[in-house]
Amino acid sequence: MKHLIVYSSVTGNTKKIAEAIAQIFDEGADIFPVEAAPPADDYDFIAIGFWVDRGTADHKTQAYLRTIHGKKVALFATLGAYPDSEHAAKSMANAAALLADDNKLLGSFICQGKVASRLLEKFKDLPEGHPHAMTPEREARHREAAKHPDANDLQKAQEIFASLLTKISLVH
């Protein structure tokens, strides 16, 4: 069975998760940035990784998700918000909803990822009351995000995908 990992990553957070996941496939996996993704026809299982952009998958991954048919799929993502937040759950669900019904979604993983400093600079200038204006709570979240993905995130991603592999062999 051939495994494919396709990821979208602007600042490298999601790429780190993709590379960690690639290590768990004994028989190897092909790994590509979404811009260079090969035709999916040759693969049985595709792990698709994205960075969260305004509450869903980034645009390139949105387009890619729509092209996938009849595959076993698992999703992974990084975002600025906390991974156990409603926003994280919704962002993952919004991305999953872009997959056609003829795919089988086996599972997902999401963790925090450092937010680009150019975006944080913009937030600093926003007036009080703006939905993205800096508050002590948001600053704390960004400080935490700046530490991710860390070694623990990479390990968790590997554990989740390792258990998915068992599922794949069961639903083969």
Ligand X SMILES: Cc1cc2nc3c(=O)[nH]c(=O)nc-3n(C[C@H](O)[C@H](O)[C@H](O)COP(=O)(O)O)c2cc1C
Query: Exactly one of 3, 6, 13, 20 binds ligand X (CB under 6 A); which one?
Result: 13
CA nearest neighbour of 30 among 41, 17, 43, 20 = 43
The answer to whether residues 153 and 14 touch, using CB atoms and an 8 Å cutoff, is no
Structure-token pair, residue 138: 């948001």
**Look-up of token digits 């092209």:** 67
Query: Exactly one of 1, 2, 12, 70 binds ligand X (CB under 6 A); which one?
Result: 12
User: Interface with ligand X includes 100 (CB under 6 A)?
Assistant: no
User: Interface with ligand X includes 53 (CB under 6 A)?
Assistant: yes
User: Interface with ligand X includes 61 (CB under 6 A)?
Assistant: no
> How far is it, in rounded angstroms, from Cα 80 to Cα 160?
21
Q: How far is the CB of 129 from ligand X (least distance, A)?
A: 19
Helices in 1-150 by DSSP H: which ranges? 13-22, 59-67, 86-96, 117-124, 136-145
> How far is it, in rounded angstroms, from Cα 96 to Cα 19?
21
**Rg of the chain taking only CA atoms, in angstroms:** 16
Contact region for ligand X (CB under 6 A) — 19-27, 49-57, 67-75, 156-164? 49-57
Indicate the residue among 10 and 100 with the shorter CB distance to ligand X: 10
Query: Exactly one of 73, 81, 92, 164 binds ligand X (CB under 6 A); which one?
Result: 81
Q: How far is the CB of 114 from ligand X (least distance, A)?
A: 6
Footprint of ligand X (CB under 6 A)? 9-15, 51-55, 78-81, 87, 113-116, 119
